[in-house]
Amino acid sequence: MQDNSNQLTRQQQSSQADIAAAVERFGKGYMDFLWKYPALSKRKDMITTAHQAVEQGGLSLVEIDNKFSDGASEWWIKKMLIELFTFLGAFESVTVYQVNALAARIRQEYYHLTPAELTHFFYCFSLGDYGKLYAGRTVNPQDILIGLKDYSYILFEQRAMVDSEKLAEKQKQEAIEAKKNAITWETYCERTGRDKTANPLGGLQGKAKNESKRADNGERK
């Protein structure tokens, strides 16, 4: 029990040192980013649906690198992968090269995803929603990439749904504002000095008649 406790303590200290080095490399604002998107074991509330992940929004992986510097998003992905492998009991079966290469491929191919969307994917993968990780006694990183490819299709559908919901809400708010700003014919006449008893459509009807006459004259010619 004591050996296990010491091992966990060393891992915690190593993790803290890694975080400190990352913050020094990417800037103080990077700590806020890590607090916002912690590892699954440190989250107080899980992102349980793709719809919820999309709704949370946030910067994409490429935007994160633009905000901090190249490597910022990849560093975060590696930490998420290490915890995933540890949770699945596969940490001893993967190499440093596999973790680094897998993180690099995820960053390269799925640069448009957000940390919230990837967090949800890792959560689903840990539940076994995208199959098992093992091929015999070895770890096949392709299993994660295949799962991520399948997940991206679901994600695109949810993005379209969220965009549609946002558009509907925007149109609803515009209609409410238009209704607030609408005035009666009587109020319009008071503001413009027009005769209240005049036909509101008179001007339009007259314009329509004039255009009709011009069209008839053109045909006769």
Instruction: For residues 74-93, give the mean pLDDT.
Output: 90
Residue 1 — pLDDT band, cuts 50, 70, 90? Answer: very low
- Residues forming a β-bridge with 213: none
Give Cα 51 to chain centroid, integer Å. Answer: 9
pLDDT at 22 over 90: yes
Question: How confident is the prediction for the chain on average, in pLDDT?
Answer: 83
CA distances from 35 to 51, 116, 121, 164, 200 (A): 22, 12, 19, 30, 61
pTM: 0.72
Condensed to tens digits (0 to 9), the pLDDT of residues 85-140 reads 988 888 888 888 999 999 999 999 999 999 999 999 999 999 999 877 766 567 78
pLDDT at 153 over 80: yes
What's the pLDDT at 189? 80
pLDDT at 64 over 60: yes
CA distances from 203 to 183, 197, 207, 211, 215 (A): 18, 13, 6, 12, 18
What's the pLDDT at 137? 65
- Give me the percent of the chain exceeding a pLDDT of 70: 80
What's the pLDDT at 8? 44
Record the tokens describing residue 178, joined without a space.
């238009």
pLDDT at 5 over 60: no
Residue 174 — pLDDT band, cuts 50, 70, 90? Answer: confident
Instruction: For residues 177-199, give the mean pLDDT.
Output: 75
Query: What angle separates helix 72-87 from helix 2-26, to the nearest 10 degrees?
Result: 160
